[in-house]
A and B are shown apart, each in its own frame.
Chain A
Amino acid sequence: DVKVTQSSRYLVKRTGEKVFLECVQDMDHENMFWYRQDPGLGLRLIYFSYDVKMKEKGDIPEGYSVSREKKERFSLILESASTNQTSMYLCASSSPLVAEEFFGPGTRLTVL
């Protein structure tokens, strides 16, 4: 089975802190994605990556950056966390051949 894991299920940080959210997949997928989910706004794409060291902006990249140093790992970075970044963060991966997307369990981030 495809497995996508995220480093934390719940995270509480303070305004101004640097926050790292880690995502690891074990299926050798080329594509990886970061979304955030908010009530009434649905899932929105933050960043995605098609290969190691490659990254593309999604629909709402402001305030975020990403890192993909290894194929299986895709990190989302909040350089200076703000309260409006309190959200559910979901990581996903897929293969360009199959194109089915698989999600991790999510990280509920609260910024105080």
Chain B
Amino acid sequence: GEDVEQSLFLSVREGDSSVINCTYTDSSSTYLYWYKQEPGAGLQLLTYIFSNMDMKQDQRLTVLLNKKDKHLSLRIADTQTGDSAIYFCAETVYAGGTSYGKLTFGQGTILTVHP
């Protein structure tokens, strides 16, 4: 079955790095995602990683994937107050020639950045 777990809260000081962690259970996951939700808005895709990769870097964002431990992390360098939001980890499964497109989301991590 599919299950995605995240810690609920993270508080950091402006300028520090933030690391948000996620664990998942489905070893057949093909893509893993990080979505960001700002107050009063829908979710927006931040970045994703394909399951045959270990790391992906995109400007201030670094995604690390440990498939053995089924652990995904998102590191935000030089965290700014504008990064305060809820961050969701999600996975999808590509099963036997069928691209389902269904995502399983974690419960979200509330990131608070203090000046």
Q: Do A and B bind each other?
A: no
| Chain B residues within CB distance 8 Å of chain A | none
